[in-house]
Amino acid sequence: KQEVTQIPAALSVPEGENLVLNCSFTDSAIYNLQWFRQDPGKGLTSLLLIQSSQREQTSGRLNASLDKSSGRSTLYIAASQPGDSATYLCAVSDNDMRFGAGTRLTVKP
């Protein structure tokens, strides 16, 4: 059974810092991996979708990488801003969609 782990569970950084969120999964036979953002009281927002054949995707200040063979993905956020404060979830798709427990990010002004 696929298991998805996110480290750290929580992270607090000062504004302007670059940071990396980590996601690992146990079964490398995935179709894709997605990074989501969840704001309190709101639904999920899809940030980046990486197909299994891809190594990375970029959107603005966000860059997500995928190393399928080692079962790892990272989400890199450049020049963090207070508005980036949220919970970040990664999810892998094989026959189902499995989510990690998330990393709660706080960016302090």
Partner 1 sequence: GAGVSQSPSNKVTEKGKDVELRCDPISGHTALYWYRQSLGQGLEFLIYFQGNSAPDKSGLPSDRFSAERTGGSVSTLTIQRTQQEDSAVYLCASSLSLGPQDTQYFGPGTRLTVL
User: Tell me, what DSSP letter sits at residue 9?
Assistant: S
Interface pick for partner 1 out of 43, 60, 83, 109 (rule CB under 8 A): 43
Q: How far apart are the first and last CA of the chain?
A: 41
Tell me if 51 contacts partner 1 by CB under 8 A.
yes
* DSSP secondary structure, 19-44, as one string: EEEEEEES----SEEEEEEE-TTS-E
Tell me the window of 17-25, 27-35, 61-69, 75-83 that interacts with partner 1 (CB under 8 A): 27-35
Residues that bind partner 1 (CB under 8 A): 4, 31-32, 34, 36, 41-46, 49, 51-52, 89, 91, 93, 96-102
